């Protein structure tokens, strides 16, 4: 996953770099540096990002019937991932 893809995912989820970092279990600086292309995520971080992205996609395209449902599902995913 490239830095621009990470930023796009984060923006789609509507979360800050700090919130995404909490979901992944890394520092805010790591997310910042990934998005800038300074560093690449570790394999564990890449797996976590993929899991978050897959759950968001499933919420948008599989489980929900309209945009409001999709947004609610993404909020749920963000909350669950941050726990």
pTM value is: 0.74
Total domains, the chain: 1
Q: Over 60: is that where the pLDDT of 64 sits?
A: no
Which CATH number is 48's domain given? 1.10.260.40
For residues 35 and 74, the model is more confident at 35
For residues 46 and 79, the model is more confident at 46
How many CB atoms are closer than 10 A to CB 15? 21
| Element housing 36 (H / E) | helix 28-36
| pLDDT the model gives residue 53 | 85
Tokens of 11: 């923006």
| pLDDT the model gives residue 45 | 94
Query: What are the tens digits of pLDDT across the range 2-54?
Result: 999 999 988 988 889 999 998 899 999 999 999 999 999 999 999 999 988 88
Structural domain boundaries, residue 73: 3-82
């Amino acid at each position: 996953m490239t830095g621009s893809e990470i930023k796009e995912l984060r923006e789609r989820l509507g979360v800050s770099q700090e919130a995404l970092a909490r979901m992944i279990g890394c520092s805010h600086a790591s997310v910042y540096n990934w998005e800038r292309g300074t560093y690449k995520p570790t394999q564990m971080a890449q797996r976590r990002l993929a899991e978050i992205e897959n759950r968001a996609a499933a919420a948008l395209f599989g489980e929900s019937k309209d945009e409001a449902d999709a947004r609610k599902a993404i909020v749920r995913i963000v909350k669950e991932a941050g726990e």
